[in-house]
Structure 1
Amino acid sequence: MNLNIKTIGLWVVTALFFSSCNEDFLDRASEDRVEAPYFFNTAKDLEVATNDFYAMLPGTESYTDDAKSDNLMPLNPDPRIRGARVVPVTGGGWSWTNLRKINYFLANYHKVQDEAARAKYSGIARFFRAYFYYDKVKTFGDVPWYGKVLDAKDPELYKARDSRTLVMDSVMADLDYAITNIPAEKQLNLITRYTAMLLKARVALFEGTFRKYHGLADADKYLALAAEASNALISTGAYTLYTEGGAESAYRNLFSLINQNNTETILAVDYELGIKIHSLGYSFTSATAGSYGLPKDLINSYLMRDGSRFTDKVNYNTMGFYEEMQNRDPRLTQTTAGPDFRVNGETRNEPVNLTITTTGYRLVKALPERSQWATSAGYFDIILFRYAEALLIFAEARAELGLLTQADLNLTINKLRARAGMPNLDLIQANANADPYLEAMYPNVDKGAFKGAILEIRRERRAELFNEGFRWDDLMRWKEGLKITQPIVGVYFPGVGAYDFTGDGAADVFVHTGSTSGAPSSVTSMININQRTLRNPITGAQNAPAGNIDPFPQDGKFREDRDYFAPLPTEDLLLNDNLKQNPKWDE
């Protein structure tokens, strides 16, 4: 076996830098041996080369990644929340193909005589290198930093991981370069200076809070960078919040746009009917695909319309669906189907349908018009970067630094609340009266004078950025991985019988134990609690006669000593003795 590894070692280690896949290794040859002398000559060449980097960006997974967290329960729970991840033989995210392409570009772009093009496209390349490494550090922690193209004989191929500080400072340097050199244009589907500004703020907030809550040095340095970058973007005045439709529909309307506009959206993935399509509408509405359901603790987190806390109500845990949806933050029923839910473009309310949701709380944020509900029928754009995130980052960074002011809140959180028709967040009141429900949800939160404000910003972040792919990273950076182990449950039912979900006096849901006789003719959904069991919210007892729908009775699993990082593949550990497995993954 050792002889075999030595025999194939040279080309596999080279492939380690390009990809874990042999095809990637073979595909690279002509790129630097033949084409380079003839390719990097014009501005168009640089544009074409950097266009290839856009494949690094996510697509529809941005709107489904929350199903790998506590934010959204799919029909089939992900290994990440089941605690079922295993050490891969190869792959697992430990691929370097994209980095090699970027570094190869950066080694050759200077041959072009057009100075403006060199600045712009080298800035875009360094944006993507920062993006690449940000993902690697989030996933694996310390990783090797490669700032140049390596050949098969370069000893750096076998080096150990570099320090997190070296890598993240290099990421910040790349983003500073990108911000300086990419033009300040508003381009929906292209990287611009504004995209780089927001990525810098996003990365710095992640790094600053990760360091703070995981006990690493220099947390405040990165938090200050997050505040600085987000404030710089805000101060440009280039973007504002999308408000078409008013408080009752603006938030939902933003994500329902077939073609995004650049009022709030900084970067989106463009889809076009007949050219580039997706199946999100199908996965949102199919009983056998996603069947996504929002969890009860997320529903509980939304405030009342007057700004008071829903969880301060004595019976919040045992409240029926129709009652709990009344007088809430309007974003709640623009995110999940409320009593008066109507599909975009239709004039009648949609019948209650609990067969397409695991929890009873149906996902409607980004749900398109009905014509896009079939497989491969979706063509609405996917938002990747939007202005609202900058507002949230600035507020959180300032709060974590202990510098938050009421003026900061008015500039950020209260603008988001105003769009939703919600009252302002008052800094003094928030800090004087921290929400015990959120404290129990986030036990590791900063216990200082700004605890209440930090918790409220986290509430706002979860509501505003729900199902945009941020939730797992948020839990990891806050050192709240054990949140995954808290019960993920749905709608509460006090027992068998008929229930009116729409408030029109007619039953919509019938709960039974096997016999549907006696179900009113108006019922559109049946729940057999012998199959879709209930969990008592007070005692935690499962298979209860009354309680919340329990779609994940085994509960999430998370090892505090291991699961903040993913494992490295065994193939790469064998090929490079200087690489070590992440803690506890070799047990």
Structure 2
Amino acid sequence: MKNLLNTILFFTGAILLLCSCNKNYLDQPPKDRLDADQFFNTATDLEVYTNDFYDMLPDYHLYDATYGLSTSDDVVSLIEPAQITGTRLVPVQRGSGGWAWSNLRAINFFFQNYQKCPDEAARIKYGAIARFFRAYFYFDKVKTFGDVPWYSKVLEAGDADLYKARDPRTEVMDSVLADINNAVANLSAEVQVNKITKYTALLLKARICLHEGTFRKYHTELNLQSSAEKWLQDAADAAGQLISSGAYKLFTTGGAAAAYRTLFARSDQDATETILAKDYNPTFAHHTLSYLMTSPTSGSWGATKDFVNGFLMADGSRFTDIAGHDTLGFYAEMQRRDPRLTQIVAGPGFTVYGETAVEPVNLNITTTGYRVIKALATRDQWGASSAYNDIILFRYAEALLINAEAKAELGTLTQADLDNTINKLRSRAGMPPANLVHDNGNPDTYLGAEYPNVAGANKGIILEIRRERRIEMFNEGLRWDDLMRWKDGKKLEQPMLGIYFSRLGAFDFNNDGKPDVYLYDGDASGAPAGVATKINIRQRPLTNGTSGNFYPYRNKIQFQEPKDYYYPIPLEELTLNKSLVQNPGW
């Protein structure tokens, strides 16, 4: 998982040796050609080279709701991200805005040279790892831009393909599928938390195929609906193969009230549920995720009211079916809910991970009042660049969700499938199981309004699977992609609200007889003694003036279809390559 010290020592030593032997070092051939002459000859060479590919994977920014991959309608940050507000601009500089290809060149350079190694087993293994990363690279490009040029070779100056047009999405994704199939077939079935294995490849394949299948199904303007079923079946099969392997199970330590939170907050991951994680350690690698959750001036993340509304009651009934659910106070709305709710956001009586004392209510570090605590580590890790809890990149729960969703979209989902997937997740949380007949016979109208493109006999269970996916995979970098593949970008235009307050004055968030929060209009002199949080509504307005919900993103959000389902190509790229055509609307 790490960039091995061997990599640094090898290249540094090679450079020093050349410099000492030849005063005309700057006249030597380009570094990649020089390395190819001396490298790619042993299994160790191939391992060292492919270890650098791991830098393509996300770090803690996977969970970053401001600048990272978790920007979505689930979390409101202190800064309004441009992709949420609909104010993205066309980048100018070549290679910016995601249109960068250096990682692909490194991968293709490997393929150009790795056959020199006489060790066949090593060629197969590390060739499969390289194909995993090429599939990962191109999957990201297609999600971002749609059609993109496919390159399977190293491009040199003067190569006509430098200025080729974009290849059709269908051709690129067929090549992506071929690469990930190669990785699945040739990687070993090992359980390794920090290394790419067959299981990692199976989950990536399932993720890729689910995305492509649903994108083709719901984006009818592409005229690719006829091929959607094949992708959905591949998604179900890949996830099913991972499930049936028995290599992983859900992490349940601590029971329904603690297991979900512990899975992310603990310092070191194990291979119970975690398939691949980014390794951090107090002695050599830190990140700043916990700081972003606790700093009033940096992250201040807050979960949205809409997200909180999606959690079922503890008996399996719908919270949104309760009359007046949107005007319940904080303490009331947190009672008798899915236990994951207070393992994702701080509830009444919140305690810091690893501590027992109730933490004072602090709404000054959360934009919406719903303080995000998923993956919040022990208190000693709250400083800038002080956290060292591992970051989960791939986990078994996603395979359960993919298998269920793909089969539901195909119309082949059975109650046995639900029991083997979604209901295992609900069981881990101590929740009643989903029932196929009941849910299809009684679709949730609240969710139906959020996802208007869902229709048909399986509408009810598809909505329930989407509920489960949003809750279970909260802030793990998938929500934006979900909205895009479901063609539900307009969901972002719905106001992203926070906690509801019926009036100004003091509020008891813990129901212990002591006020915790005081809302006032310019003058806080009436605040009771001991109140932990005082909020001036002139600085943090409510939707109805002196009552209503926190409304952090007060600028009207606009999502333009089809424009905002894709990112724009930088202007310099269009100038240099006349064969490229900008994405629609940009």
Q: In the TM superposition, what whole-angstrom CA distance separates every residue of 1:50-70 from its partner, at most 9, and x where no partner exists?
A: 011111000011111365211
The aligned amino acid for 2:477 is G
Matched, 1:189 2:194: yes
Q: If the length of structure 1 is used for normalisation, what is the TM-score?
A: 0.93
Q: Does 1:356 align with 2:372?
A: no
Secondary structure at the counterpart of residue 535 of structure 1: coil
How many correspondences in the alignment?
551
Question: For structure 1, which segment, 487-496 or 82-91, has the greater mean C-alpha deviation from structure 2 after superposition?
Answer: 82-91
CA deviation after TM superposition for structure 1 residue 133, in Å: 0.1
Q: Match for residue 510 of structure 1?
A: 518
Closer, same or farther: CA 518–67 of 1 in aligned 2, 3 Å: farther
**1:448 paired residue among 441, 444, 456:** 456
Task: Give the corresponding residue for 1:18.
Answer: none
Q: In 2, distance between residues paired with 1:561 and 1:378?
A: 39
5+ long unaligned stretches in structure 2: 1-25
Letter in structure 2 aligned against 1:526: K
2:46 and 2:31 map into 1 onto residues whose CA distance is: 14
SS at match of 2:195: coil
1:197-244 C-alpha deviation (Å, 9 max, x unpaired): 000000000000000000141111111110010001101000000000
Correspondence for 2:329: 320
Q: In the alignment, does 2:261 pair up with 1:288? A: no
- CA apart distance, 1:558: 1.0
**Aligned counterpart for 1:263 among listed residues 248, 266, 272:** 272
How far residue 519 of structure 1 moved from its aligned partner, in angstroms, is 1.4
Q: Deviations over 1:356-375 (max 9, x none)?
A: 00000000000000000011
In the TM superposition, what is the alpha-carbon distance from 1:31 to its structure 2 partner? Answer: 3.8
Instruction: Report the CA distance between 1:535 and its aligned residue.
Output: 1.1
- Write the distance in 1 (CA, Å) between the matches of 2:371 and 2:470: 17
Q: Does 1:167 align with 2:172?
A: yes
C-alpha distance after superposition, 1:343-389 (max 9, x if no partner): 01112011100000000000000000000001111111000000000
Give me the whole-angstrom Cα distance separating, in 2, the residues matched to 1:116 and 1:235. 26
Match runs of 1:552-567 below 5 Å: 552-567=553-568
> How far is 1:412 from its partner?
0.2
**Aligned 8 A contact 1:67 1:78 in 2:** no
Residue 266 of structure 1 aligns to a residue in which SS? strand
Correspondence for 2:20: none
1:577 match: 578
Paired residues of 2:200 and 2:394 also in contact (CA < 8 A):
yes
Instruction: Identify the residue that residue 30 of structure 2 maps to in structure 1.
Output: 30
Pick from 489, 496, 506 the counterpart of residue 481 of structure 1. 489
**Alignment partner, residue 11 of structure 2:** none
Q: Secondary structure at the match of 1:498?
A: strand
1:469 matched to 2:477? The reply is yes
SS at match of 1:383: strand
Output the amino acid matched with 1:441. E
Question: C-alpha distance in 2, partners of 1:504/1:286?
Answer: 26
2:78–2:300 Cα contact (<8 Å) kept: yes
Partner of 2:140: 135
What letter is aligned with 1:467?
N
Say whether the 8 Å CA contact 1:534–1:548 is kept in structure 2.
Answer: yes
Give the partner amino acid of 1:134.
Answer: F
Which of 94, 101, 107 is equivalent to 2:99?
94
Equivalent in the alignment of 1:126:
131
Residues in 2 aligned to 1:560 and 1:150: alpha-carbon distance in whole angstroms: 35
Question: Structure 2 vs 1, CA of residues 29 and 498 (structure 1 numbering), >3 Å: closer, same or farther?
Answer: farther
Which letter does structure 2 place at the counterpart of 1:572? E
| SS of residue in 2 equivalent to 1:94 | coil
Match of 1:391 among 400, 412, 420: 400
Alignment correspondent of 1:248: 257
C-alpha distance in 2 between matches for 1:379 and 1:199: 25
Aligned partner of 1:49 in structure 2 is 49
**Cα distance in 2, alignment partners of residues 394 and 556 from structure 1:** 33
Q: How does 1:158-237 map to 2 (within 5 A)?
A: 158-215=163-220, 216-217=223-224, 218-237=227-246
Residue 371 in structure 1 maps to residue 358 in structure 2: no
**Which of the numbers 454, 459, 463 marks the counterpart of 2:467?**
459
Q: Distance in 1 between matches of 2:274 and 2:390?
A: 11
**Are residue 73 (structure 1) and residue 82 (structure 2) matched?**
no
C-alpha separation in 2, matches of 1:354 and 1:557: 28
Give the equivalent residue in structure 2 for 1:302: 311
Cα deviation code 1:155-181 (max 9, x no counterpart): 111111111111101101001100111
Corresponding residue SS for 1:526: strand
The residue aligned with 1:82 is 85
Relative to structure 1, is the Cα distance of residues 29 and 563 closer, same or farther in structure 2, using a 3 angstrom cutoff? farther
Name the counterpart of 2:506.
Answer: 498
Query: Which residue identity is paired with 1:568?
Result: I
Which residue number in structure 2 is paired with residue 39 of structure 1?
A: 39
Distance (whole Å) between structure 1 residues aligned to residue 530 and residue 415 of structure 2: 50
TM-score using structure 2 length: 0.93
How far apart, in 2, do the equivalents of 1:72 and 1:243 lie? 26
- Aligned-residue sequence identity (percent) comes to 60
Q: Give the CA deviation at 1:265.
A: 0.2
Deviation at 1:187, TM superposition (A): 1.0
Q: Which amino acid aligns with 2:448?
A: E
Counterpart amino acid of residue 493 in structure 2: T
| Counterpart pick for 1:402 among 411, 416, 424 | 411
Contact 2:334 2:348 in 1 (8 A): yes
Q: Distance in 2 between matches of 1:255 and 1:511?
A: 33
Structure 1: which amino acid aligns with 2:556? D
Cα distance in structure 2, aligned partners of 1:432 and 1:274: 55
Q: Which runs of 4+ in 1 moved over 6 A?
A: none
- Deviation larger for 182-191 or 380-389: 182-191
Residue 468 (structure 1) shift: 0.4
Aligned-partner residue type, residue 333 of structure 1: T
Q: Does 1:156 align with 2:161?
A: yes
The answer to whether the 8 A contact 1:66-1:72 is kept is no
> What is the RMSD of the two structures over their aligned residues, measured on CA atoms?
1.2
- Unaligned segments of structure 1, at least 5 residues: 1-25, 537-543
Q: Which amino acid aligns with 2:149?
A: P
